[in-house]
Amino acid sequence: MNSKRVVITRPMNAQLLDFETKPLKDNDVLVENQFSLISAGTERAGLVGLPNTPGGFPFTPGYSSVGTIIETGKSVKELKEGDKVFVLYGGHAKHSVKDAKFIFKLDIPTVAIHAMASDIPHGSHSPELLKYVFIKLASYSLLGMRRCGLEIGENCVISGLGLLGQFGVYFAKVAGAYPVIAIASQETSLNKAKDFGADYVFSYRQANYEQEIIDLTHKTNLIKGAAVTIETSGEIKALHSALIYAAKQGRISLTGCNRVVNEPLDLYNTIHRKGLFLIGGHEQSRQIFSTKNNFTWRRDYTFIFHHLKSGQLDVSSLISEIHSPEDTTIVYERLANEKDFPLGVVFDWTKC
C-alpha cells in the first residue's frame, strides 16, 4: 500500500515522503493512523544529532500514534479490523505495520466516541481519539514516580514542566504527595502545573529557590528538602539544583534524558554524604513483568487509559497545535530552532 511518513533525511531537515507499507506477517496488524504526537525533546535530539541518540540518517521519528486497524495477520486473535488502538513506535506515518504486541487496544464504546467528539475544539475529523495519543508519554512520568516509591504524605518536586513534567504533577497528586512542588522557567508552564495540581511553584530564574524548597518542606513535612524529585528537564543545571534541594536519603528519578553532561557533579557532597538515590527512569529500564516499583507498560497504559477515558486526566490544555503532515518541514524547522517549542504538537493524518 502506498502511504506517507515523516523522514529526517539529514541533520536539521525533515520531509513528508511517500513509502510502501511492508507486507503483513502472521502476527502483524495494519493501522491507519489518525493522530501522532511529537515528542519534542527526543525528536529534537535526533533531528540535530545530539550525543546519545541512535544516529544515522534517514530515519522516521515518532513513537505515539492512534488510529484504526484496517487489516490483521492470520495469527492475530485479540485484535480485529475496526478496533481503535494506540501504536507504539509506529512513527509519524499515515499507516503503520506493527506486530500485535506493540498495539494497545482502546476500549471505547461507540456511544462514548460520539460523546467525546465535542470535547476537543480543534475541528479534526476524528477528535475522539486525540487525547489517547498522550498515553505513552504520560507513562514515562508514571514510571519515574513508581521507581521512586512515592508514599502518601511525602513531598514531591517536579523539575521541568514540559509534557513529562505536567503529567508528573498530575500523578504525584493522584499518588497522595504533599506538597507537590513544580519548577520551570515559563510562567505559562507554572500556571498550567497549578491546574494539574501543584501546591507550590518556583521559577528556575528565582534566586536561591533551592533554599526556599528546603525551608518549605521543613515547614510542611518536617524534613529539610525534597523526599522525591522527578527530574524531567534533562538539563544538567536542573540536576545540580535537584541534588542541592534533595533531603537526606531523597530519591531522584532521571525521567528526562540527560544526553549532554557538560558540567562535573560533586558526587561526594551532594550524593555520597546525603545518601541520595539517583534512579534511572528510562523506558528501556522497565522490566517485562510487574514488581514493586515497576509495572509493565501495558498495566501502566491501562491505568492511564482509564484516567483519560473518565476525564480525570484532562489533556485538552496540553494540545497546542494540530498540523497537517504537509507542514512537516516547517514544523521540524521550528522544533530545531525555537527554544520554547509548544507543548502537545500533533499531526492529523486525516489531512493528507
For the stretch 175-223, pLDDT in tens is 999 999 999 999 999 999 999 999 999 999 999 999 999 999 999 999 9
Residue 120 confidence (pLDDT): 44
pLDDT surpasses 90 at 249: yes
Q: Scanning the structure block, which residue is given the C-alpha cell 555520597?
A: 272
288 or 159: whose pLDDT is higher?
159
Q: Where are the domains positioned within the chain?
A: 2-122+319-351, 140-285
42-78: pLDDT as tens digits: 999 999 999 989 888 999 999 999 999 999 999 999 9
pTM: 0.94
Question: 295: burial class by Cβ within 10 Å (0-12, 13-18, 19+)?
Answer: buried
The 3-state DSSP class for residue 133 equals helix
The pLDDT, as a whole number, for residue 122 is: 42
How many Å apart are CA 256 and CA 244, to the nearest integer?
18
pLDDT attached to residue 350? 95
φ, ψ of residue 176 in degrees (nearest 5): 90, 20
pLDDT at 123 over 60: no
Query: Could you tell me how many helices (H) and strands (E) the chain has, helices first?
Result: 10, 15
What are the start-end ranges of the H helices in 73-225?
110-116, 135-147, 163-174, 187-196, 209-221
Confidence of residue 262 (pLDDT cuts 50, 70, 90): confident
CATH-assigned architecture of domain 2-122+319-351: Alpha-Beta Complex (3.90)
pLDDT(116) > 60: no
Q: Percent of the chain scored above 90 by pLDDT? A: 88
Orientation of helix 40-48 relative to helix 328-337, angle to 10°: 90
249-262 mean pLDDT? 93
Is the separation of the CB atoms in 142 and 70 below 8 Å? no
Q: Which amino acid appears at position 278 of this protein? A: L
pLDDT at 260: 85
Span 75-109, pLDDT tens digits? 999 999 999 999 999 999 999 999 999 999 999 87
Longest dimension (CA), the chain: 62
Integer Cα distance of 182 and 167 in angstroms = 11
Residue 178 CB burial class (10 angstroms; 0-12, 13-18, ≥19): middle
How high is the pLDDT of residue 111? 46
Number of residues that this document lists for the chain: 352
For residue 126, name the pLDDT band (cuts at 50, 70, 90): low
Question: Which of the four CATH numbers 3.40.50.720, 3.40.50.9100, 3.30.540.10, 3.20.140.10 does domain 140-285 have?
Answer: 3.40.50.720
